[in-house]
Amino acid sequence: MQEVIASILRNSAANKAALASDQGFLESVERAAKELKAAAARGGTVYLCGNGGSACDAMHFCEELVARFKRERPGMRAVHFMDPGVLTCWGNDYDFESVFKRCVETFCGPDDVLVVFSTSGNSKNVLQAVEAAKSKQCFSLALTGRDGGKVATMADLSLIVPVQETERIQEVHITLVHIMCELMET
């Protein structure tokens, strides 16, 4: 068992090390943090969504912005689209594929940023949310994996973790959340 544990830890570290050596990726992460920080400075809101574990990553990012990450500071406006009443109402009355789209149409505007999490980059409800953000002139940031999926070319900026395993992608996503929080607090 210890070799399995060590192998998983080495693989996770190798994924992050590879991205740390990718200048284009580092520039994209820096741009993402600047876009988020600019939205906060102009009074905008960061809206977040995803499915399953990605929904949890979106909620984690939200709480770090609203409460704090490392430094005492005023809260940053952030809202996740994971309200169970809204999700189940819209999903029951219409469909689950357009639930995030409806939220974007209702809340997002040009001063805001939509952050979507999708390890595959092909979640239909996430794709519809990004499409709706375009119509609202809302900047969209995608955290995705593998080859980026369809969302990679739809979003204004995509942070692609180019590995196949969902759990390894999510490990990098949460690290990116912490990096962006740190950059936003400086």
- Enumerate the H helices of 42-165 as residue ranges: 53-66, 84-93, 99-107, 124-135, 151-154
pLDDT, residue 136, reads 98
Q: Give me the CATH number covering residue 146.
A: 3.40.50.10490
Domain that holds residue 148: 2-184
For the packed helices 2-20 and 166-184, what is the interaxial angle rounded to 10 degrees? Answer: 50
pLDDT, residue 179, reads 98
- Percent of the chain residues topping a pLDDT of 90: 99
The structure tokens listed for 87 are 């999700």
pLDDT, residue 167, reads 97
pLDDT tens digits, 20-37: 999 999 999 999 999 999
pLDDT tens digits, 122-177: 999 999 999 999 999 999 999 999 999 999 999 999 999 999 999 999 999 999 99
Question: Could you tell me the CA-to-CA distances from 50 to 19, 20, 171 in Å, in that order?
Answer: 22, 25, 15
- Looking at residue 109, what DSSP letter applies? -
- Over the chain, what is the mean pLDDT? 97
pLDDT, residue 52, reads 97
Cβ-based neighbours of 64, under 8 Å, separated by 6 or more: 177, 178, 181
**pLDDT band at 19; cut points 50, 70, 90:** very high
**pLDDT band at 78; cut points 50, 70, 90:** very high
pLDDT, residue 148, reads 98
- Tally of domains in the chain: 1
